[in-house]
């Protein structure tokens, strides 16, 4: 088994149970020195930018850590766009209460920039809340700017 650190809508344990039924959430933690941002706005078929993280000293991103079964890993790579080249996998250290763990994350394969739709940002904030993120983190997510989906 391997660890995956979710920072976007996959923070939601119910969503992850549907995607990866053999892979339990084993805790939460922080990606220290990283910042949640958005990228890919204007990519054909997307209404707004999608979540990603970038290195940013002094910042941190709340994550839910999942113990991913190999069967679920291939499915998650497909869902998250690794096989299509949209996202890359990086292995990082997650700071958790029980100690540091190594986990992979998905990072958008392109430039940072763009705004998420209000619906998408709400999904991320709700997922963070369900995973047990601190109130100030969730409030910060909800107060971020959003864009309007083009028709």
Q: Is 7 annotated as a binding residue?
A: yes
Are the C-beta atoms of residues 71 and 2 closer than 8 Å to each other?
Answer: no
Alpha helices, DSSP H only, in the chain?
Answer: 13-19, 70-79, 118-131, 135-142
Catalytic residue among 47, 55, 78, 80: 80
- For residue 80, give the nearest of 88, 91, 70 by alpha carbon: 88
Any catalytic annotation for residue 123? no
Are the C-beta atoms of residues 114 and 39 closer than 8 Å to each other?
Answer: yes
Q: Is 81 annotated as a binding residue?
A: no
CA distance 151 to 139: 29
Q: Is 9 annotated as a binding residue?
A: yes
Q: Is 120 annotated as a binding residue?
A: yes
Q: Is 143 annotated as a binding residue?
A: no
Q: Is 85 annotated as a binding residue?
A: no
Catalogue the active-site residues.
80
Which residues sit in the known binding site for substrate?
A: 4-9, 120
Q: Which residues are annotated as a binding site?
A: 4-9, 120
């Amino acid at each position: 088994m391997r660890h995956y650190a979710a920072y976007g809508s996959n923070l939601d344990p119910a969503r992850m149970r549907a995607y990866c039924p053999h892979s339990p959430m084993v805790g939460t933690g922080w990606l220290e020195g990283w910042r949640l941002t958005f990228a890919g706005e204007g990519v054909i078929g997307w209404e707004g930018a999608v979540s990603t993280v970038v290195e940013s000293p002094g910042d941190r991103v709340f994550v839910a850590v999942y113990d991913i079964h190999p069967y679920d890993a291939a499915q998650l790579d497909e869902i998250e766009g690794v096989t299509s080249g949209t996202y890359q996998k990086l292995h990082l250290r997650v700071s958790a209460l029980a100690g540091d763990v190594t986990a992979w994350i998905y990072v958008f394969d392109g430039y940072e920039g763009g705004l998420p739709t209000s619906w998408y940002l709400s999904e991320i904030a709700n997922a963070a809340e369900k995973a047990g993120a601190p109130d100030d983190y969730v409030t910060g997510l909800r107060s971020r700017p959003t864009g309007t989906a083009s028709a």
